[in-house]
Structure 1
Amino acid sequence: MRDIVVTAVILGLIPWILVNPVVGVLTWCWLGFMNPHKLCWGFAQTFPFAQVVAIATLAALMTWKEPKKIPWTRETKTLLVFTLWMFVTTLFALNPEGAWEQWNKVWKIMFMTYVTLMVMNTPKRIHMLLWVTALSLGFYGVKGGIFTLMTGGNFMVLGPQATFIGVRGGIALALNMTIPLMRYLQLTTSQRWIRIGLGVAMALTGLAVIGTHSRGGFLGAVAVSFFLILKTRRKFFYTLLLALTAYGILSFMPSFWAERMHTIETYEEDASAMGRINAWLFAFNLAKARPIGGGFECFRDWLFDRYAPNPGEVHDAHSIFFEVLGEHGFVGLALYLALILMTWRTATWIKRQAHGVSETQWLADAATMIQVSLVGYMVGGAFLGLAYFDLFYHLVGLVVLCRVLVERYQSGEDVRIGDYAFF
């Protein structure tokens, strides 16, 4: 029954997508972040819904009457160069079969990022996109928080299998990135009951992060909490609230959870942590030996025999930075870091230009919370190989769109956020 319902909903959206590509982008994001078909038990699990939605969106885009322009900023140019460089490294990959399979996934994420930039170019569309993103991942935050409460934290919170968030580190990273987006929605919502609901969702999502038992997720949660307080209004109130919440959560979790978190301080005695360091040194040695890196899916045992200090300890990258370094070399890492830095600096520019102006304050709030989300990505990602997680590139696109709107406002255009009729 679940398969039939999900299939009926998605395919039922196709006629709307063919009329309006905005619906297609929103549906693509819903499928990419929530993966509702992966919650099914039958044929829907493997049905190519994302491909069907993407084709319908492109078909609608071809007949769309609105101008179809990509804002060519430093971020979008760097992203294009990074994508092209990944194609080059795939051509010379040490694991060709695995590399081409991964490339087939990555280029689609990048391509749909540019489609999003062409389509979601109004205040209301950006706001809708943020709602869909936050609710899609927030579903797992609320569900995971309730699960953690009901089980006393004795079992791990996980996302659907065969997805970016199917492992505890992945779901923890995604939820840490989602909490700031919920906070943005709370700041820009006038309805009191929605603000309260979002506050409860944020608390449950934070509990779900703890319930993943992920050490990287825990560090990410600490970093996100610190920056939320640093960048939010009413700092004293939220500091006190967060301290009380953290005390309650830490007191609630079982003792073995605390013992696992304690290994962060004693990583030299932890086999898993030392295995990660071995993988990082492997990536560094590989990049030194091959300036273009090893290509996608190069963290393999036969390559560890050549480049790892300890060939017997074969691990995945376990870091977005070392994943890019090993797979795409120092050039790829430089492009990746430049993209992160440019996005951060553009968000800072948006805050300075939009803050304090009633028509654009929401853009300042969006930029601020996206920066906090990026903190969650960088801190959590430092211990997890999710360099191609589509939420990151999604946020890059959102920052670019927000900058375009600020510039439009400064040129004299009306940039009001619009009504909330889409609820």
Structure 2
Amino acid sequence: MRDILIVLIVFGTLPMVFKRPYVGVLLWVWISVMNPHTQAYGFAVTFPFAQIIAGVTVLSLFMTSAPKALPMKGPTIALIAFTLWMNVSTAFSFFPEYSLETWNTVMKIMFMTFVTMMIIKEKKHIQLFIGMLVLSLGFYGVKGGIFTILSGGSDIVWGPGNTFIGGNNEIALALIMTIPLMHYLQTLSTRRWQWWALSAAMGLSALAAIGSYSRGALLAIVAMSLFMTAKSRYKMRVAILVMISLPLIFTFMPEKWANRMDTIQTYQKDDSAMGRINAWWMAFNLASDRPLTGGGFQIYEPAIFQRYAPVPDDVHAAHSIYFQALGEHGFVGLGLYLLFGILTWRTGTWIIRETRRRDDLKWAFNLATMIQVSMIGFAVGGAFLSLLYFDVPYYLMVALVATRVVVEKQLQETPAAKAAKTSGARLDQGVPEPLSAMERGTA
């Protein structure tokens, strides 16, 4: 039944993509972020939905007469440079055969990110895009939150298998990044039930993140809370809410959860934490040996750890977006990735500064603020996870760049230009223009 439902949704929506390419982007986000086919049990699990949606979306993009140029802002240029450099590091990879599989996956993500940037250009597109991200990840937040309540917090929340967010740490970070986006949608809600539904989804997603037993998620929550408190106009209210929420969490969750979180302070005695540090040293030593290109994709092999790790037999994945970039793509790759993040942040800051006092652009102000909160969560939580190629942060960059383009266009509209546009609209609608003083005297 689930397989048939997914097929009906996808193939029932595809005809709309030819007329409205942004529908293809929304469908792509749903399939690539939520991965609904992983919740099925039959043929849909392995059916190539993503390839079909991507092909139709690209075809529809080039069939339309709309401009197809990339918005060449700072983050766009940095992402292009980072993508090109990943190709260079792959050419010098330690394990070319293994690297190509990961390279193929990553290049598909980057390609569709650039396609999305060509298509998402209007306010409506941006808001639907954010809404689809929230729907795709919020599904697991609501599901995981209910699971945490029913289990009393004794069982661990996991994400959908064989995806970027399949692990407990990964789904926790994804949900933490989604909560600020849910709050953004709250600012757009026009009905009370929408506001309450999003509030419930935020609460359940927070419970799901806590129920994942992820220590990185807890650190990310703390960092996001501090940032929101510092930036909010209602600092005292936010601080009181945080102070009330944290004791409630500790009261609800069982003792084994508290013991797990306590290991943050005693990481030297935790094998998992020490394994991550060993992997970080491996990445640093490898990059020091090959500073330009690093080792390419798929370097987490016994032979590499024997050569570069302080503890050669303790083989782990990177467990950090920063050391993952460093080990796989060298200091150049890490520098480009950090530049991409900084320029994306500055794009959000520009939007916030330029729209702060514009009621007509309040939606852009709120969106940029909440995306920055999500970025804080990813920057902190990602320091402990191998999520360098997780597509959602790149999609948030797309939303910020598209928002900046829309804001720039609206800010450039002078009062005279607005009046001329209004005048033209009146004439098109057959509405007579008001008479001038001279015309009134002649009349």
- TM-score above 0.5, yes or no: yes
CA distance in 2, matches of 1:395, 1:336: 15
Which amino acid in 1 is paired with 2:40?
C
1:148 aligns to what?
Answer: 148
CA distance in 1, matches of 2:179, 2:227: 12
Q: Is the 8 A contact 1:33 1:136 kept in 2?
A: yes
TM-superposed deviation, 1:148: 0.2
What percentage of aligned pairs have identical amino acids? 51
Which amino acid in 2 is paired with 1:325?
L
1:343 aligns to what?
Answer: 344
TM-score by length of 1: 0.96
Farther-moved stretch of structure 1 (157-166 vs 220-229): 220-229
Q: Secondary structure at the match of 2:401?
A: helix
Q: For each residue in 1:270-326, what CA deviation from the matched residue of structure 2 results, as whole angstroms up to 9, or x when unmatched?
A: 111111100000000000111210001111111100011110110000000000000
Which amino acid in 1 is paired with 2:381?
G
Q: For each residue in 1:100-149, what CA deviation from the matched residue of structure 2 results, as whole angstroms up to 9, or x when unmatched?
A: 11111111111111111111100111011111111110111111111100
CA distance in 2, matches of 1:325, 1:334: 9
1:371 aligns to what?
Answer: 372
1:75 aligns to what?
Answer: 75
CA distance in 2, matches of 1:127, 1:231: 23
2:314 aligns to what?
Answer: 313
Q: Secondary structure at the match of 2:213?
A: coil
Are positions 1:130 and 2:127 aligned together?
A: no
| Structure ID, larger Rg | 2
Which amino acid in 2 is paired with 1:359?
D
CA distance in 2, matches of 1:236, 1:201: 24
CA distance in 2, matches of 1:228, 1:30: 28
TM-superposed deviation, 1:188: 2.5
TM-superposed deviation, 1:199: 1.3
Q: Secondary structure at the match of 1:405?
A: helix
TM-superposed deviation, 1:233: 4.2
CA distance in 2, matches of 1:229, 1:138: 24
2:271 aligns to what?
Answer: 271
Are positions 1:85 and 2:85 aligned together?
A: yes
CA distance in 1, matches of 2:272, 2:221: 21
2:441 aligns to what?
Answer: none
TM-superposed deviation, 1:266: 0.3
CA distance in 1, matches of 2:81, 2:30: 27
1:418 aligns to what?
Answer: none
CA distance in 1, matches of 2:207, 2:311: 37
CA distance in 2, matches of 1:279, 1:67: 45
Are positions 1:297 and 2:293 aligned together?
A: no
CA distance in 1, matches of 2:61, 2:239: 46
Are positions 1:389 and 2:390 aligned together?
A: yes
CA distance in 1, matches of 2:355, 2:108: 32
Cα 1:143–1:215 shift into 2, 3 Å: same
Farther-moved stretch of structure 1 (333-342 vs 57-66): 57-66
CA distance in 1, matches of 2:275, 2:220: 20
CA-based RMSD of the aligned residues comes to 1.2
Are positions 1:357 and 2:346 aligned together?
A: no
Farther-moved stretch of structure 1 (191-200 vs 285-294): 191-200
TM-superposed deviation, 1:92: 1.3
1:14 aligns to what?
Answer: 14
CA distance in 1, matches of 2:147, 2:227: 27
CA distance in 2, matches of 1:229, 1:42: 47
Farther-moved stretch of structure 1 (17-26 vs 330-339): 17-26
CA distance in 2, matches of 1:280, 1:47: 37
Q: Is the 8 A contact 1:94 1:295 kept in 2?
A: yes
CA distance in 2, matches of 1:207, 1:231: 24
2:114 aligns to what?
Answer: 114
Q: Is the 8 A contact 1:209 1:221 kept in 2?
A: no
Which amino acid in 1 is paired with 2:51?
Q
Which amino acid in 2 is paired with 1:264?
I
1:97 aligns to what?
Answer: 97
1:420 aligns to what?
Answer: none
CA distance in 2, matches of 1:92, 1:383: 26
Q: Is the 8 A contact 1:71 1:117 kept in 2?
A: yes
Are positions 1:198 and 2:201 aligned together?
A: no
2:3 aligns to what?
Answer: 3
2:405 aligns to what?
Answer: 404
TM-superposed deviation, 1:228: 2.6
Which amino acid in 2 is paired with 1:17?
V
1:419 aligns to what?
Answer: none
Q: Is the 8 A contact 1:189 1:195 kept in 2?
A: yes
Q: Secondary structure at the match of 2:384?
A: coil
Which amino acid in 1 is paired with 2:119?
V
2:212 aligns to what?
Answer: 212
Q: Is the 8 A contact 1:74 1:342 kept in 2?
A: yes
Q: Secondary structure at the match of 2:158?
A: coil
1:325 aligns to what?
Answer: 326
CA distance in 2, matches of 1:94, 1:335: 21
Q: Secondary structure at the match of 2:360?
A: coil
1:156-305 → structure 2 map (5 Å cutoff):
156-291=156-291, 292-305=293-306
TM-superposed deviation, 1:358: 1.0
Farther-moved stretch of structure 1 (400-409 vs 240-249): 240-249
2:27 aligns to what?
Answer: 27
Which amino acid in 2 is paired with 1:371?
Q
Q: Is the 8 A contact 1:17 1:57 kept in 2?
A: yes
CA distance in 1, matches of 2:233, 2:105: 40
**Matched residue count:** 414
CA distance in 2, matches of 1:231, 1:51: 41
Farther-moved stretch of structure 1 (215-224 vs 228-237): 228-237
Q: For each residue in 1:66-111, what CA deviation from the matched residue of structure 2 results, as whole angstroms up to 9, or x when unmatched?
A: 2222111111111001000001111111121221111111111111
Q: For each residue in 1:156-181, what CA deviation from the matched residue of structure 2 results, as whole angstroms up to 9, or x when unmatched?
A: 11111000110011101101110111
